[in-house]
Amino acid sequence: MSQRSPHLGFGLFIAAVAFVLDQVAKWVVTVPLSLETKPGGSIEIVSFFNLTWAQNYGISLSMFADQSPTTRWILVGVTALVATAVAIWMTREKAKGDVIALALILGGALGNIVDRVRLGYVVDYADLHFGSFRPFMIFNVADACITIGVLLLVARALLLGEKAPAADASPSAE
């Protein structure tokens, strides 16, 4: 049986912070700002960033978007399975950088799961654009945490991949 990660407590703290930031941001756009009731559902913050109301019934890039209760609960279940797998991985991971990445993914996944259970959709609002060019779909803090976490895992795997054991440099016996 593998030992518990020495960084688990820190990882759970990061996951909790990501979750709370996501939920607070969603509360701000839905309650005090009432973004969904604004004309056009949008508020310009700066010339390249708006708060724009969007209800995401699907997953990333609105794939599998469907407003049926069956699809909603399937997406909750699949996301919960992924979050559980990430949490288990995080408990066993020894590298602090990987624990941080996994924690961001876990916190973001939990934030989106809460929305889908509570509302039937995920609240999205962050609209980054440069003129009419939008490099991303409208997203939220949870989506950003998941994306950053995945990118960190990929970058660490590519840049810090496990090194093969050094070949035996001693001369072979003849």
Has 143 been annotated as catalytic? yes
In angstroms, rounded to a whole number, what is the distance separating the alpha carbons of residues 137 and 63? 12
Residues 6 or more apart from 114 whose CB is under 8 A from it? Answer: 19, 23
Asked if 99 and 90 count as a contact pair (C-beta separation under 8 A), the reply is yes
Catalytic-role residue among 115, 124, 127, 168: 124
Residues 6 or more apart from 8 whose CB is under 8 A from it? Answer: 90, 91, 99
Residues 6 or more apart from 17 whose CB is under 8 A from it? Answer: 107
Residues 6 or more apart from 170 whose CB is under 8 A from it? Answer: none
Has 98 been annotated as catalytic? no
In angstroms, rounded to a whole number, what is the distance separating the alpha carbons of residues 131 and 87? 39
Asked if 126 and 35 count as a contact pair (C-beta separation under 8 A), the reply is no
Classified as helix, coil or strand, 6 is: coil
Catalytic residue annotation: 124, 143
